[in-house]
Amino acid sequence: MLSIERIELARAYQIIAMFGWDDSTYTHLSMRVPHSDSYLIYPFGMLFEEVTPECLLEVSLNGDVLVGNEAHYNQTGYVIHGNIYRQRQDIQAIFHCHTPAQVAVSATQDGLLPLSQWALHFYGRISYHAYNSLALSHDVHGKQLVRDLADNFVMLMKHHGSLMCGRTIHEAMFYTHHLEKACQTQCLLTQSHLSLDLIEDHICQQSVNDLIHFEQDLGKRDWEAYCRQLTRRRTNASHI
């Protein structure tokens, strides 16, 4: 019988593809295997829309493939996911994306600005990681990623993309949605060449608290809606 973690992670890949936030066969999402020192991740080379619960690899925190074909494992996955899971026991899911909007905002000196309600979810709660080529080294890249993430759940990797972590898979998806909308909005405003009207600090402070505590199980309501949307698309496609 397939575990709930395999089912949910496969859904996450398909939801990311459904919204167009994937990047060909690049980037990766993972989910910790409960009560173990391992996590699930997709086989490198698959499109996100192709990922199924059965095909997911199980990988140890040391980078050894425990279940699946080790030829399909991405070294950057171990460096990013393995190191974070080892140091952050509170994190159960990690999404790594590089949408054009996220990369564009990551490459600016000021980073994510308080220009929209979407952006306020991350006010004072987002980290930044300087670009240093592909994340291939545990000592050079992995440890620095963990240091830069610190106690936050979201990080912009400058000139590269983003990391969204969650205590649940739906929390990671929640952050992914709001970060993408925030970055898209900032890009639109920057392109307009109009003067930017930043939201005042005291409002940002109140808003981030309100937004993060607005619902009891952060992201669960949206996750269930995305899953229903995914099911409808599959049903409609099967009738064509």
Domain boundaries, the chain: 4-232
Lowest mean pLDDT among 60-74, 126-140, 203-217: 126-140
Which helix (H) or strand (E) covers residue 11, if one does? helix 4-18
Q: Tell me the C-alpha to C-alpha distance, in Å, between residue 23 and each of 18, 20, 120, 196, 232.
A: 12, 8, 26, 30, 23
Q: What is the dihedral of CA 200, 219, 56, 139, to 10 degrees?
A: 30
- How many residues make up the chain in this entry? 240
How far apart are alpha carbons 162 and 179 in whole angstroms? 9
DSSP designation for 34: T
Q: Tell me the C-alpha to C-alpha distance, in Å, between residue 233 and each of 47, 54, 229, 237.
A: 17, 21, 6, 6
Q: How far apart are CA 218 and CA 51, in angstroms?
A: 25
Q: Over 70: is that where the pLDDT of 239 sits? A: no
Please tell me the predicted confidence (pLDDT) of residue 1: 83
Model confidence band, residue 128 (pLDDT cutoffs 50, 70, 90)? very high
Which of 27-36, 58-67, 137-146, 218-227 has the lowest average pLDDT?
A: 137-146
Q: For residue 135, report the phi and psi dihedrals to the nearest 5 degrees.
A: -80, 90
Alpha helix (H) residue ranges in 107-168: 117-120, 143-149
Task: Using the predicted structure, report yes or no on whether residue 166 has a pLDDT greater than 70.
Answer: yes
pLDDT band at 134 (very low <50, low <70, confident <90, very high): low
Structure confidence at residue 135 (pLDDT): 57
Give the pLDDT band of residue 103 (cuts 50, 70, 90).
Answer: very high
Average pLDDT over every residue of 39-48: 96
Which of 26-30, 99-103, 107-111, 191-195 shows the lowest per-residue confidence on average (mean pLDDT)?
Answer: 191-195
CA-to-CA separations, 152 to 112, 124, 126, 146, 167, in angstroms, rounded: 15, 9, 6, 10, 11
Distance separating alpha carbons of residues 20 and 63, to the nearest angstrom: 29
The sheet that has 161-166: what strands, in order across it? 65-67, 57-60, 38-41, 28-32, 93-97, 161-166, 154-157, 126-129
- How is the chain split among helix, strand and coil, in percent rounded to 5? 50, 15, 35
Q: What is the pLDDT of residue 70?
A: 83
Average pLDDT over every residue of 80-94:
95
Task: Give the pLDDT score at 55.
Answer: 96
Q: Please tell me the predicted confidence (pLDDT) of residue 235.
A: 85
**Which position has the token pair 């809606």?**
225
At 7-25, the pLDDT tens digits run 999 999 999 999 999 999 9
- Name which CATH class applies to 4-232: alpha beta
Q: What is the mean pLDDT of the chain?
A: 93
